[in-house]
Amino acid sequence: MIVTDGHQLRLYNSLGRQMEDFVPSADPSGMYSCGPTVYAYPHLGNMRAYVFADTVRRALRWKDIRVRHVVNITDVGHAVADTDTGEDKVEAAAARERRSVQQIAEFYTRAFFDDIEALNILPAAEYPRASAYVGQMIEFAATLEEKGYTYRLPSGLYFDTARDPRYGELAQLHAEGQREAARLEQVPGRRRKTDFALWRTEQPGRRRVLRWDSPWGWGAPGWHLECSVMSIALLGPHFDIHTGGVDHRELHHINEIAQSEAYLGDGRPWVRFWLHNEFLQLGAAKMAKSAGGAPRLADLTSAGYHPMAFRLFLLGGHYRSQLDFTIEAMDAAQAALRRLAVRIQPLRPLPAADTLAAATGLMAGPAAAGPAGQHDSAAARALDLMDAAIAADLNTPKILAVLQDALRDPAITPDGLRTVTAAADALLGLSLATLDPDLEQRRSAEELAPEELHAIEQLVAERTQARKERDWTRADLIRAQLEQQGVEVTDTPEGPVWQLRG
Ligand SMILES: [Zn+2]
């Protein structure tokens, strides 16, 4: 049998900044990814984090490691500009869009799931909503208070980072020199810049929309609290992997670690592996959602790009490298995806090869025997190269290169090539088994029949009128009706604009 033992999976752990063998501590292995804040559409930079987490999932599956993955939905608690005392982002969006906070959260949560699905991201086991865990967050903060890790101010309950001698270890920064913390606003009475709010107490005369009673008065949880509370609630006190964008490494994850280890108090590291993806750069600027105007997946699909072309573009770079998003790069990715689909179409149907064991099993079977009854050594070599690549800290560019080489290799048998392609597809998640080489272009407004166009324009006009009359319910109903028809309306200072969804 041609079965390799496989290469040991090694991942770059931000905690200690080094490559380490990944061996799960439990079955299933616990994995938590910081999820979206649902007050706006996720942009392309946000989605890189979820494609990255999905690559981790696929690598674990490949190695027959079962995983329980949790991704939170931040529908409360994330203040504007990451500050402790600012306005809640979801509430600010609700005021701006004249919808209820629940409507805002629900709408953008759905938009997030649409993108997750379009990008062929494996669903998590759980997507807990922060708003459903506020009671547990209060208990968590109360425990920290009992243990003496906190102090009270009129603006809320604060975590005292001076009590944690290892504070900031993940960021490899000394507590007083925190870069990220330095940009936070001044909080009267706060002892250190790094101290952060566990509870944000409502200020007199500034009643929040989403508010809970607590031992520290009416208010809302600080935004770091939810990840600690929900991950521990759903994965147990300790788990194997925590993922997020590299920006979280500098502040959010430091605070998660500080409060969780203080809460658990067992002297053990809370989470073993901290994995962070680099930014997607749009021009020179970080694609931060707060900056506004950052492109999202629907912008790409409406321009005729296939979602898998964006995924291919992302996987063409290593997750720890910054990537420059350009239209030229998207064009190249779309062309590469089309070439792959054209080349792979005659090989269909592809076998199931989600795991190294399954793929090597296919190689060892009778189907792998070549004309001379020999095993397909070219395919076996390609599989081994792919296994080595995924094991070496998720080297997706290398897997793509191995696949492309295999597709050009005359020595490989058709069945061997099917197995190699299926294995690459399982690791990369590009839907190569089913992708239409035409990459089905999205309909543009120009392709609509005149009566369709007229009906849409009329509904948009009716909605504008309803808004003018401050009839928000009716305006929302019309928006929902338009969405049913695949039409998305965006309100701009110049009036509403609409486009067809992909
Ligand atoms: Zn988090």
Q: What is the whole-number distance in angstroms between the Cα of residue 329 and the centre of ligand 1?
A: 30
Q: What is the whole-number distance in angstroms between the Cα of residue 383 and the centre of ligand 1?
A: 35
Q: Are 403 and 321 a contacting pair, CB within 8 Å?
A: no
Choose the weakest-confidence range: 143-157, 309-323, 377-391, 431-445.
Answer: 431-445
Residue 211 CA to residue 230 CA, distance in Å, equals 19
Q: How many percent of the chain have pLDDT more than 90?
A: 62
**Phi and psi angles of residue 490, each rounded to the nearest 5 degrees, phi first:** -120, 135
Distance (Å) of CA 412 to CA 350, 376, 398, 478: 15, 7, 19, 56
Q: What is the whole-number distance in angstroms between the Cα of residue 252 and the centre of ligand 1?
A: 6
Q: Can you give the C-alpha Rg of the chain in angstroms?
A: 25
* Pick from 163, 157, 165, 121: nearest CA to 139: 157
Q: What is the whole-number distance in angstroms between the Cα of residue 227 and the centre of ligand 1?
A: 5
Grouping H, G, I as helix, E, B as strand and the rest as coil, residue 39 is coil
Residue 414, Ramachandran bin (φ over 0: left; ψ between -120 and 50: alpha; else beta): alpha
Q: What is the whole-number distance in angstroms between the Cα of residue 22 and the centre of ligand 1?
A: 22
Give 108-156 pLDDT, tens digit per residue: 999 999 999 999 999 999 999 999 999 999 999 999 999 999 999 999 9
Residue 92 CA to residue 79 CA, distance in Å, equals 9
Q: What is the whole-number distance in angstroms between the Cα of residue 21 and the centre of ligand 1?
A: 24
Q: What is the whole-number distance in angstroms between the Cα of residue 34 and the centre of ligand 1?
A: 4
pLDDT of residue 2: 47
Q: Which residues lie across from 276 on neighbouring strands? A: 244
Residue 93, Ramachandran bin (φ over 0: left; ψ between -120 and 50: alpha; else beta): alpha
Choose the weakest-confidence range: 34-43, 228-237, 365-374, 426-435.
Answer: 365-374
Q: Which residues lie across from 495 on neighbouring strands? A: 492
Q: Are 308 and 337 a contacting pair, CB within 8 Å?
A: yes
pLDDT of residue 363: 85
Give the distance, in angstroms, between the CA of residue 458 and the centroid of all CA atoms in the same chain.
Answer: 37
Distance (Å) of CA 259 to CA 149, 240, 241: 9, 18, 17
Q: Are 397 and 315 a contacting pair, CB within 8 Å?
A: yes
Q: How confident is the model at residue 365 (pLDDT cuts 50, 70, 90)?
A: low
Q: Which residues lie across from 369 on neighbouring strands? A: 375
Q: What is the whole-number distance in angstroms between the Cα of residue 176 and the centre of ligand 1?
A: 23
Q: Are 171 and 254 a contacting pair, CB within 8 Å?
A: yes
Q: What is the whole-number distance in angstroms between the Cα of residue 74 and the centre of ligand 1?
A: 9
Distance (Å) of CA 119 to CA 122, 176, 300, 308: 9, 41, 12, 6
Q: What is the whole-number distance in angstroms between the Cα of residue 153 and the centre of ligand 1?
A: 24
pTM equals 0.83
Q: Give burial (CB, 10 Å; 0-12/13-18/19+) of 251.
A: buried
Q: What is the whole-number distance in angstroms between the Cα of residue 253 and the centre of ligand 1?
A: 7
Q: Are 219 and 200 a contacting pair, CB within 8 Å?
A: yes
Spell out the SS3 assignment of 49-74: HHHHHHHHHHHHHHCCCCEEEEECEE
Q: Give burial (CB, 10 Å; 0-12/13-18/19+) of 229.
A: buried
Q: Are 26 and 318 a contacting pair, CB within 8 Å?
A: no
If one compares 83 and 273, the residue with the highest pLDDT of the two is: 273
Q: What is the whole-number distance in angstroms between the Cα of residue 192 and the centre of ligand 1?
A: 22
Kindly tell me the sign of the dihedral angle through the C-alpha atoms of 77, 81, 87, 89: negative
Highest-confidence range of 50-54, 172-176, 181-185, 246-250, by mean pLDDT?
Answer: 50-54
Give 411-436 pLDDT, tens digit per residue: 999 999 999 999 999 999 999 999 98
Q: What is the whole-number distance in angstroms between the Cα of residue 261 and the centre of ligand 1?
A: 15
**19 has a pLDDT exceeding 70:** yes
Q: What is the whole-number distance in angstroms between the Cα of residue 225 and the centre of ligand 1?
A: 8
Question: Tokens standing for 500?
Answer: 């067809």
pLDDT of residue 82: 46
Residue 137 CA to residue 139 CA, distance in Å, equals 5
pLDDT of residue 103: 85
Question: Tokens standing for 327?
Answer: 């239209």
Grouping H, G, I as helix, E, B as strand and the rest as coil, residue 326 is coil
If one compares 147 and 95, the residue with the highest pLDDT of the two is: 147
- Looking at 39-187, list the stretches that DSSP marks H as alpha helix, in order from N- to C-terminal side: 44-62, 89-97, 101-118, 134-146, 179-182
Q: What is the whole-number distance in angstroms between the Cα of residue 249 and the centre of ligand 1?
A: 10
Residue 216 CA to residue 70 CA, distance in Å, equals 29
Q: What is the whole-number distance in angstroms between the Cα of residue 408 and the centre of ligand 1?
A: 43
pLDDT of residue 169: 85
Q: How many helices (H) and strands (E) does the chain have?
A: 16, 15
pLDDT of residue 354: 97
Query: Residue 245 carries which DSSP code?
Result: E
One-letter amino acid of 33: S
